[in-house]
Amino acid sequence: MSHPTQITDDQFESEVIKSSTPVLVDFWAEWCGPCKAIAPTLEEIAGDYDGRLKVVKVDVDENRQSATQYGIRSIPSLLLFKDGAEVDRIIGALPKQQLMEKIDGHL
């Protein structure tokens, strides 16, 4: 079973942009309540979509370059990348079913 992977600014290009699999990027922070609330859902999604979708987490406090580059102003922000390009952006903690509908539209 797959789990969300913590990545850094230095890993962003290799793990997200150059990924052959679509990637859901969770921009989050330790102090963010809604980020903690959505974490179990992202764990489930990582398992449900194992092999079809990669789920990564970027701590905005430790990785400001990626957060700035993608204009992250509120967290949690979930960005969906496919073939190296952002194809969808979800702001806030949505229920699992709504997240899956957005993801399924791009797989």
Walk along the chain (107 residues) and give the pLDDT tens digit of each residue.
689 999 999 999 999 999 999 999 999 999 999 999 999 999 999 999 999 999 999 999 999 999 999 999 999 999 999 999 999 999 999 999 999 999 999 99
Annotated catalytic residue: which of 23, 24, 25, 32? 32
Query: Is 35 an annotated catalytic residue?
Result: yes
> Which pLDDT score, from 0 to 100, does residue 1 have?
65
> At the top level of CATH, which class does the domain 5-104 belong to?
alpha beta
Annotated catalytic residue: which of 16, 35, 60, 72? 35
Separation in Å, CA 29 to CA 24, 34, 53: 16, 10, 22
Cβ atoms 75, 66 nearer than 8 A: no
Beta bridge partner(s), residue 85: 82
> Which pLDDT score, from 0 to 100, does residue 18 have?
97
List Cβ neighbours of 78 (8 Å cut-off, separation of 6 or more): 24, 25, 26, 27, 89, 90, 91, 99
> Which pLDDT score, from 0 to 100, does residue 52 have?
96
